[in-house]
Chain A
Amino acid sequence: MLAFIIRRLLQSVLVMLTVALVAFGLFRYIGDPINNMVGQEATLVEREQLRAQLGLNDPVPVQFARFVANAAQGQFGMSYRMARPVADVIFERLPATLELALISGIGALVVGIALGVYTALRRDGWLSQIIMSLSLIGVSLPTFLIGILLIYVFAVQLQVLPAFGRGEVVRLGWWSTGLLTESGLKSLIMPAITLGLYQLTLIMRLVRAEMLEVLRTDYIKFARARGLSDRSVHFRHALKNTLLPVITITGLQIGSIIAFAIITETVFQWPGVGLLFITAVQFVDVPVMAAYLVLIALIFVVINLIVDLLYFAVDPRLRVKRSGRGS
């Protein structure tokens, strides 16, 4: 188990280094950073001076090593556009994105599993058929369209929910939360639905398919043949066995929720890192883009690590050493 974790950690470091290389590449190949930093009137001498000052004349490997060392300490330099440390800008925006991702992720998981189990158990019921048909819409409609439709119905026509922004926020140390104010919660509803709908339908369809698969297995038949109650057969025996693939997919999806909050944040002008990234792309704010890239990679790596550890918690076949076999 420990060896497994160490191996996984080493792999994670490798992944992070690769991503860092790509992020570093951004600096070198997306235009000349000096051009972006200084005004039109800067002289060649001034440019050269800045270049030396920023270490851009050093050999590439040295620059990369410096980038990695700084990145490891959370230093990604100054944002070209805002002229503030990138780390500060990102950390300021991070709570908004994490809250949005967390709420929509939990919502998608809870509702997705519940609906998945329901539609698997009542396979031929009319409500299941309706849910399954609706889920096709969730899978096939693009995120921005769902967001715009929601805004049109609830903000423009019914005028019950705000169309954009995060509402009032409360500061808890460096973390700013919108979960404690009414306007904050109201503002969260539509973005969370928009962001989570796809994941919800995905998890639901996955749970349904896995559940149908498990319900056909011998140990479920044997559990029924022993006279166990339906509740025990369905939830104690069947649901737990469907969870491994669900954990895998959910882990990957939580990563995507954070990474692809970009679209939702743009539609709802949600002040998170996704919106920050889009603005950075428009202004070729390379340090912000690089930092975002590394941050998202880190989140994916951490989530994957957690998923691997959850396997151990759920599946005893991985946990217990293969002792006492034979005869």
Chain B
Amino acid sequence: MSDPTPPPLLSVRNLRIEFPTRRGTLVAIDDVSFDIARGEVLGVVGESGAGKSLTGAAIIGLLEPPGRIAAGEILLHGDPIHRLRPDQMRHIRGRRIAMIFQDPLTSLNPLLTIGQQLGETILTHLDVDEDGARKRAIALLDEVGIPAPAERIDHYPHQFSGGMRQRVVIALALCAQPELIIADEPTTALDVSVQAQIITLLKRLCREHDTAVMLVTHDMGVIAETADRVAVMYAGRLAEIGPVRAVVQTPHHPYTRGLMGSIPVLGADIRRLVQIDGAMPRLNAIPPGCAFNPRCGAVFERCRSDRPDLLPAGATRAACWLFDAGHASEQTR
């Protein structure tokens, strides 16, 4: 029973999230497992509705009812956190796991100065007095690149531009030096020119503080730029997970291949971009077997009956029967 390697920072094991409705239970997340190591950036990509944000919300304990974790577990340094009482979970939120939301324009309370919002967060988690909190708040604003922080701290959110507000949001997330930041599409609402700045900032800060990031996005450019590993989600399940270079350059799962093929490449002589026919199934109509089988070009009999687990496929692992040992031998025959 001796296990010399310490448990990963975050470990999601067989997570299943259900939404009970009048017409039966919808399974929004089905048997999703992944780890995030200390200081690692895990990109999570997928179409809208694939369950990316839901997974993030479940980790930080902010699933909105009636959504609930029906099975599986979420471990922080090996300790389960998915069954904690609300007051215990509160000490993890912000302190050990922080979250950044999509729209900086609506993430800040319009009636409080950013100093008040930073201050209350610092005072909630750290053992400092009002003066200490204010000093720390100014230092944080300086760190995220807000000019003249000592003056700007008393301004209201509406006095900042979108990019500046997202910097403030990042400062708020960093208040108590969390070990993990869940960034839910942190750049989607920003101008393209500002997106790069924010991503660079997030990357730099997390490297400096040794903070891990779960970066939820559908922007493959951001993922390629930032992430160490990538998890591709489809219809509430993991399709493929692996190092960013392998997933982007040599994807194995047919869905990931389609996803990568649909990204235009400058200078490449391609007449038409690849598109994946059809649409992701609704939660109440996920087909048996592999959820991707109706749209898959390489579909065969087994895909329609059995659901594939994550199987080793080159440098990544893909949930696809193509990489089952039996199938591979059939192919080489």
**A and B held together in a complex:** yes
A interface residue numbers (CB < 8 A to B): 217-219, 221-230, 232, 236-237, 240-241, 314-317, 320, 322-327
A317→B158 contact, CB < 8 A: yes
A228 to B156, CA, bound (A): 19
Instruction: Name the distance in Å between A326's Cβ and chain B's nearest Cβ.
Output: 6
**Given A218-B107, A314-B111: A323 touches B159 (CB 8 Å cut-off):** yes
Partner of A219, one of B109, B121, B176: B109
B60→A225 contact, CB < 8 A: yes
A223→B109 contact, CB < 8 A: yes
B108→A222 contact, CB < 8 A: yes
B interface residue numbers (CB < 8 A to A): 60, 62, 86, 90-95, 98-99, 101-103, 106-113, 120-121, 124-125, 147, 152, 155-156, 158-161, 163-164, 169, 172-173, 175-176
B94→A225 contact, CB < 8 A: yes
A240→B99 contact, CB < 8 A: no
- Nearest residue (CB) in A for B108 is A219
User: Across the interface, which residues of A come within 8 angstroms of B98, CB to CB?
Assistant: 225-226
A325 to B160, CA, bound (A): 6
B107→A219 contact, CB < 8 A: yes
A324→B159 contact, CB < 8 A: yes
User: Across the interface, which residues of B come within 8 angstroms of A236, CB to CB?
Assistant: 112, 120
A315 to B155, CA, bound (A): 13
Partner of A237, one of B90, B93, B112, B159: B112
A304 to B125, CA, bound (A): 43
User: Across the interface, which residues of A come within 8 angstroms of B120, CB to CB?
Assistant: 228, 232, 236
User: Across the interface, which residues of B come within 8 angstroms of A226, CB to CB?
Assistant: 93-94, 98, 121, 124, 172-173, 175
User: Across the interface, which residues of B come within 8 angstroms of A222, CB to CB?
Assistant: 99, 101, 107-108, 169, 172
Task: Kindly list the 10 A-B residue pairs having the minimum CB-CB distance in the complex, ordered from nearest.
Answer: A227-B94, A227-B93, A225-B99, A226-B94, A218-B106, A316-B156, A219-B109, A222-B107, A226-B121, A218-B107
- Nearest residue (CB) in B for A228 is B124
User: Across the interface, which residues of A come within 8 angstroms of B156, CB to CB?
Assistant: 316-317, 320
Q: List 17 other contacts, CB 8 Å, given A226-B93, A227-B121.
A: A218-B101, A218-B103, A219-B110, A222-B108, A223-B109, A225-B60, A225-B93, A225-B94, A226-B175, A227-B90, A227-B92, A227-B94, A237-B109, A237-B112, A316-B158, A317-B110, A324-B152
A149 to B204, CA, bound (A): 71
User: Across the interface, which residues of B come within 8 angstroms of A228, CB to CB?
Assistant: 90, 94, 120-121, 124
User: Across the interface, which residues of A come within 8 angstroms of B175, CB to CB?
Assistant: 226
